[in-house]
Amino acid sequence: MSTEAPRHAGGPLLYPFAAGPAHGTVTPVAPGVHWLRMPLPFRLDHINLWLLEDGDGWTIIDTGLATGPAREVWAAVLAGPMRGRPVRRLLVTHFHPDHFGLAAWLMERCGCELWMAAAEHAIAVVVLADDAGSHAARQAFFRRHGLDRERLELTDTWRGSYRDGVPEVPSQFVALRDQQVLRIGGHDWRVITATGHSPDHVTLHCQALGLLISGDQILPQITPHIGVWHTAPEADPVRGYLHSLARFEDLPPATLVLPAHGLPFTGLAPRLEAVAAHHARRLEIVANACTAPSTATGVLDVLFRRRLDVHQIVFALGETIAHLNYLCADGALARSSDAAGVQRYTRT
Ligand SMILES: [Zn+2]
């Protein structure tokens, strides 16, 4: 008989909740920890937010996108299940619009503080400031990566404005740092930061409650987007992401993971393994696609064989370049530019 503690051993994840709370209602997931969902106007139609009882007030984790329906849900929840306790603190896991969009609005409405990692606040300021000027630079970046005329015309119509989702970045915040311990509602929550999906993504682990608020860093059924953008074309976020996975390996096997999308789950270790294996497979496909010199667009068409809409093209190309950059940094691929400035990758 094995003396090992029971573990998931790569098996399916376990989901203790069959479904998320209906919009405007909350579901308790642990003593003092409540689950709230916000609508998103995308194929990924929701984000999970977490409401933590914190003394006589609340600490809330993430905000939802700056849309009318999200504001309506907040109004209903603040006047309903959250009534009677003031919101003292808004903690934001990372700068993406669905997590951060309503930060300024909530601070104004609730008089709460904003807590986030300094690098996440800094990138939000840069991206918001760059919003108007980034279009031409992004198109040039796509052209350099071999995007054909038809798809360039499509991406030319794509605005993907950060400002639409995040109208305002609050100028004041309390900086969170890795391994910092926050006392929330009588429990210690340890900050574990991770990179790859965003620069310094905050996750929160509570040993006593056996919970990990994982944001987008670790998701149960999808892998978070890991992309390279025109603003930092040489970035290697896949490496950062894979390194970051190790930071969660030693958490107890029974940890209930509270992700920003999908359902809470146990089975952190097998999920980390599955995600690492996914990227290893992707890297292999990308390397094989460059046996003969190929542009990033050529590799994109191998990785994603279905027809992509314009939003998917933008994100999938960024993801493809991220994997190419990883292999270039490792010396597995070499990059060259032709007279027109178009970049090609070849196996070394
Ligand atoms: Zn995100």
62 touches 100 (CB < 8 A): yes
List, as one string, the DSSP characters of 244-269. HHGGGTTS-TTPEEEESSS--BB-HH
Ligand 1 centroid, distance to 303 Cα (angstroms): 22
Q: What is the CATH number of the domain that holds 135?
A: 3.60.15.10
Ligand 1 centroid, distance to 227 Cα (angstroms): 11
Q: Which residue has the tokens 């989702």?
A: 165
13 touches 265 (CB < 8 A): yes
Note whether residue 77 is domain-resident. yes
Nearest to 77 by CA among 23, 22, 24: 24
Note whether residue 21 is domain-resident. no
Token code pair at residue 37: 């969902």
204 is in which domain, residue-wise? 26-266
List, as one string, the DSSP characters of 95-150. SSHHHHTTHHHHHHHH--EEEEEHHHHHHHHHHHHHTTTHHHHHHHHHHHTT--HH
Ligand 1 centroid, distance to 120 Cα (angstroms): 11
Ligand 1 centroid, distance to 45 Cα (angstroms): 14
184 touches 126 (CB < 8 A): no
Ligand 1 centroid, distance to 65 Cα (angstroms): 11
Ligand 1 centroid, distance to 226 Cα (angstroms): 9
Ligand 1 centroid, distance to 122 Cα (angstroms): 15
Note whether residue 287 is domain-resident. no
pLDDT value of residue 206 = 98
Note whether residue 6 is domain-resident. no
Ligand 1 centroid, distance to 153 Cα (angstroms): 27
Domain count, the chain: 1
240 CB contacts (<8 Å, ≥6 apart)? 195, 196
* Ligand 1 is an ion; residues with CB less than 5 A from it: 96, 216
Ligand 1 centroid, distance to 341 Cα (angstroms): 31
Q: What is the pLDDT of residues 150-165, one digit of tens each?
A: 999 999 988 778 888 9
Mean pLDDT value across the chain: 93
Note whether residue 177 is domain-resident. yes
Query: Alpha helices, DSSP H only, in the chain?
Result: 68-79, 97-100, 103-110, 118-130, 134-144, 149-156, 162-165, 237-245, 268-289, 296-303, 310-329
Ligand 1 centroid, distance to 96 Cα (angstroms): 5
Note whether residue 208 is domain-resident. yes
Q: What is the pLDDT of residues 288-326, one digit of tens each?
A: 999 999 999 999 999 999 989 998 999 999 999 999 999
Cα separation, 47 vs 33, in Å, equals: 16
pTM summary value: 0.93
pLDDT value of residue 23 = 81
pLDDT value of residue 11 = 59
Ligand 1 centroid, distance to 200 Cα (angstroms): 11
Note whether residue 150 is domain-resident. yes
For residue 56, give Cα distances in angstroms to 18, 32, 51, 146.
Answer: 31, 12, 13, 57
Note whether residue 167 is domain-resident. yes
Q: Which amino acid is at 261?
A: H
